[in-house]
Amino acid sequence: MTSAASRPPVRLLLADDEHLIRGALAALLALEDDLVVVAEAATGPEALAMARAHMPDVAVLDLQMPGADGVRVATSLRADLPGCKVLIVTSHGRPGHLKRALEAGVRGFVPKTVSAQRLAEIIRTVHAGNRYVDPELAADAISAGDSPLTERETEILEYAADGSPVAEIAERAALSQGTVRNYLSSAVSKLGAENRHAAVRLARERGWV
């Protein structure tokens, strides 16, 4: 389809905190005639700075990076470089992440289980202005559906995520203990969990926190 010699190559930014993966990826993508890696980054902020400096056509971002995760970088990038398409790659594809990513204007979302060959094709797809979402991740996201929790319930559940007692959560959220317990109770029943700790785990699995 895309003839390599006929048009200028696609300029890529690669961001992943794992040097091993980033370097290897750069090497593999460089084998494709129509792709060229113009910048690499190991952290969220670094990715942002590199993008501003090198103006890539497509940014390939890892979902989990120190500093700022891929989705946050994508959000900033959309404001700064509207022409730059964002493609997220991830190891652990939780359903909620996909939704957040799409809301942030991300054009592609793939697990790291794809081959480099396939990734190159997807980069071209995204560069051409189309979207690409891994079918399996998409199915998971659809079956998991939207979070049934209200904003407040989600917030309180997040405060509960590290196992803090109610008193501490109440203090951090500036609420009374009774209110906190009510929110947790409703969150637990909405998620069908046995207690708030299991609820946290469930919400995590579905990507709702």
Positions touching DNA (CB under 7 A) are 150-153, 165-167, 175-176, 178-179, 181-185, 188-189, 195-197
Numbers of helices and strands, H then E, in the chain: 10, 6
Q: What are the beta bridge partners of residue 90?
A: 111
Interaction between residue 17 and its own copies (CB under 8 A): yes
Give the DSSP H or E segment for 108: strand 108-111
Query: What does DSSP assign to residue 85?
Result: E
Q: How many CA atoms lie within 13 A of 81 on its CB side?
A: 21
User: Among residue numbers 21 through 40, which ones bind its own copies (CB under 8 A)?
Assistant: 21, 23-25, 27-28
Angle at 46 between CA 99 and CA 63, to 5 degrees: 25
Beta strand 108-111 pairing with 85-90: parallel
Q: Which is nearer to DNA, 74 or 202 (CB)?
A: 202
Task: Give me the 73-112 binding string for its own copies, x by CB under 8 A, dash otherwise.
Answer: ----------------x-x-------------------xx
184 binds, among its own copies, DNA, none (CB under 5 to 8 A by kind): DNA
CB of 26 to its own copies, least distance (A): 9
Interaction between residue 121 and its own copies (CB under 8 A): no
Site size toward its own copies (CB under 8 A) is 34
27 binds, among its own copies, DNA, none (CB under 5 to 8 A by kind): its own copies
CB of 15 to its own copies, least distance (A): 14
Residue 74 and residue 80: Cα distance in Å, rounded?
10
Q: How many CB atoms lie within 10 A of CB 72?
A: 17
CB of 167 to DNA, least distance (A): 6
Residue 181 and residue 171: Cα distance in Å, rounded?
13
Interaction between residue 162 and its own copies (CB under 8 A): yes
String of DSSP letters for 190-201: HHT-SSHHHHHH
* Binding positions for its own copies, rule: CB under 8 A: 17-21, 23-25, 27-28, 42, 89, 91, 111-116, 119, 162-165, 168, 193-201
